[in-house]
Chain A
Amino acid sequence: MNSLRRLFAIMQKEFRQLKRDRVSFAMIVMIPLIQLTIFGYAINTDVRHLRAAVSDESRTDLSRELIAMVAQTQVVDFVGTASGPRELEQWIKEGRVSVGIVIPFDYARRVERGEDQPAQLLVDGSDPIVGQAVMQLAQLRLPGVKATATSRNAAVEERATAMTSPVSRPIIPFEVRLDYNPERISAVSIVPGLLGVILTMTMVLFTAVAIVRERERGTLEMLITTPVRTAELMIGKIVPCIGVGLVQISIILCLGVALFHVPIRGSLVDLYIAGLAFIVANLTMGLLNSTFAQNQFQAMQLTFFFFLPSILLSGFMFPFDGMPVPAQWIGELLPLTHFNRMSRGILLRGATLSEIGRDLWPLAAFFCVVMTAVLLRFRKRLD
């Protein structure tokens, strides 16, 4: 009973302090806002004038028409003509161009036969901005086989007749080969990952600082001379931060939907449950951090130590399946890995928690192990 009262007193104190702490308050809102906008827009920017080269082995009117059509979109500027696909690939690898168009020698014949994807777009997918931009080119449509006119107006008319004539349906000119980024990262797919990344950073730092600040200001010395128990102190510190985390999830989701049209295909309740487990796991990590850090600067450094592998090995940055097996093992230990799977599953694929709930248990295990470490490490002493 006394224990509950003490726990409640600590929570109330934390809430009061948070309420009066403008800087922290601003951080709660601004970090997701800034991060999401920067990441999202950087990816979403309507990029134009990418450097491109073409390898035209067909050299027909039809192929020149395709090149002109691509140039007209202004997405790319042609800066050279390559002798063949090999050279194009080399140029992309060297970074001289971002986009290559390969028109094979039998291009004209394939167009006349009405085959889809007679030509190929080589894209430097290592840069998600480029990948996103070039997708516009993939949506170009060639007029049907019967088309002989070369003007765009004629092409539009042709498309109209194509509706009624099955022979002259428009054909898809490009097979897109996205090199270096087979997962096709885009704003839509990055937001669920970003959700976890932002939470990792703020949550770990938040609890770490909550304890370390008391140490710096000397109030911890007063606190640990009272009968308060370590578990009461730790839980009392965590609970208000959970609220902060849930607020951040909501902010990121609202922004994601409003700015980047991120779909919410699954249930929001499922997402918040997954979020809750993830938040708690990260908060305990912050507590563990605080048992090492003597001041806020060290707390920040330690947070970064945890943040970096989280970003790199969780599948946020690189596709998880493509990572070396030992890296995957480490990745499996990180809360972000499991949350990424759940948030992508729920938001993008409409999965339910019962389908992807197997990623909840690692979070629970993480919490138990780390919390035990915290309780063992935190001493009500100054040495």
Chain B
Amino acid sequence: MQQNPTLQDSKTPPLQPSNGLAIEARGLSRRFGHVVAVDALDLTVERGRIHGFLGPNGSGKTTTLRMLCGLLRPSAGTAKVLGMDVAHAAEAIRRQIGYMTQRFSLYEDLTVIENLEFVAVVQGLPAKKRRVRLDELLGRYGLKDHRRQIVGTLSGGEKQRLALSAAVLHEPKLLFLDEPTAAVDPQNRRDFWETLFDISDGGTTILVSTHYMDEAERCHSLSILDVGKLAASGPPRRLAETLGQRVVEVETATPREAQTALHRAVGVLSVAQIGTHLHILVDEDASDPVGVVTTALRDAGLKGQVTSAQPGLEDVFVAVTIARRKREAARSAA
């Protein structure tokens, strides 16, 4: 499943030499009553990588992370984290991982420094190292001026940086981040990813969940989750390449009419308007995607310039969800 990307995205930093697997899960499943939150998930993450979990809300990202942290027991399947089995060595794993929860989980009624000191002691940081480490973190994450501020009064971005400092405080080998940028603005998101690359450069493996395409694109490797199932996995570039020529763009003076016409056309999976042009995903069975779109436009009596386009992660995502819906429709029809 995991492949070494040969093509390096300009946005991703050079890879650390891989030295074994940080995470290895086979058939990992979790049900809550009748809901299957995670369904037979296979996952391998090499050490030193930034691995992304891309999926919409409710696709099972949080549940998977919790299973990997030993917080939820899998209903089926196995998982090894840093070479240890989550079912038996949860405590040993906890010493070596950092976990930033989706929901802010530090004490809102304590100050920044009180929270960090508490986490430092609980994580077993030696008293001598504590001061230096906390000062270093406060400096690096821009929290020096907020030392004595009650955490409940921090801004979204500050809370996020505090949560990250608490998660990396004991220098874990593996860092789990659950939608870490959900509550922050775009500028802060970009800065946040810079810090993630810094942490990654230090040799830490990172597993980060997100529903933002631009963030997913920055990961070394990705798992796309769709209603609890692994829909696709691999480096973002390679995932996009699997779509081949299936993405087509149309430049037209009448985008609304063209969109309506294309929606009805056989072989067209999705149409999205982006500014003045249309972004179209064509069915994988179509041998000539540009031809399919051109024909559909001509039949509707519309004009437009049709060109083949570079597929992106968004297209991968759309293709994956549509493929699933088609399977479901076929199953319920049968």
Contacts and interface: CB of A to CB of B under 8 A. Distances in A.
B123 A222 contact: no
Contacts of A225: 69, 71, 94, 97, 99
Nearest to A8: B121
Given A9-B118, A16-B114, A383-B73, A227 B124 contact: yes
Interface stretch (B3-11, B102-110, B140-148, B242-250): B102-110
B101 A218 contact: yes
A20 B72 CA distance: 33
A13 B114 contact: yes
A200 to B, nearest CB: 27
Nearest to A220: B105
Interface residues of A, number: 27
A5 B121 CA distance: 7
Interface string A216-229: 01110111111110
A223 B101 CA distance: 11
Nearest to B119: A226
A9 B121 contact: yes
B263 interface: no
A228 B66 contact: no
A381 B121 contact: no
B122 A9 contact: yes
B249 to A, nearest CB: 44
Interface string B148-188: 00000000000000000010000000000000000000000
A2 B122 CA distance: 8
A373 B92 CA distance: 24
A355 interface: no
A269 B110 CA distance: 36
Contact of B109 (A21, A381, A382, A383): A21
B125 to A, nearest CB: 10
A204 B73 CA distance: 30
B71 A226 contact: no
A217 B94 CA distance: 21
Interface string A340-356: 00000000000000000
A381 B105 contact: no
Indicate the member of B73, B91, B114, B118 with the most A CB atoms within 10 Å: B118
Nearest to B71: A382
B323 interface: no
A99 B14 CA distance: 95
A94 to B, nearest CB: 56
Interface in B248-267: none
A21 to B, nearest CB: 7
Interface string A1-31: 0100110111011001100110000000000
Contact of B70 (A6, A10, A17, A381): A381
A2 B109 CA distance: 25
Nearest to B163: A222
B95 interface: yes
A381 B73 contact: yes
A208 to B, nearest CB: 19
Contacts of B94: 225-227
A314 to B, nearest CB: 36
Given A13-B114, A381-B73, A383-B73, A222 B121 contact: no
A177 interface: no
A381 B94 CA distance: 12
Given A20-B109, A381-B71, 11 more contacts: A8-B121, A9-B118, A13-B107, A16-B110, A17-B109, A21-B109, A222-B101, A225-B71, A225-B94, A227-B122, A381-B72
Interface of B: 66, 69-73, 90-91, 94-95, 97, 99, 101, 103-110, 114, 117-119, 121-124, 166
22 contacts: A5-B124, A6-B122, A8-B121, A9-B117, A9-B122, A10-B122, A12-B118, A13-B107, A13-B114, A17-B109, A21-B109, A218-B104, A219-B107, A222-B105, A222-B106, A227-B95, A228-B122, A380-B90, A381-B70, A381-B73, A382-B66, A382-B71
Interface of A: 2, 5-6, 8-10, 12-13, 16-17, 20-21, 217-219, 221-228, 380-383
The 6 closest A-B pairs by CB, nearest first: A222-B105, A9-B121, A218-B105, A218-B103, A225-B99, A226-B122
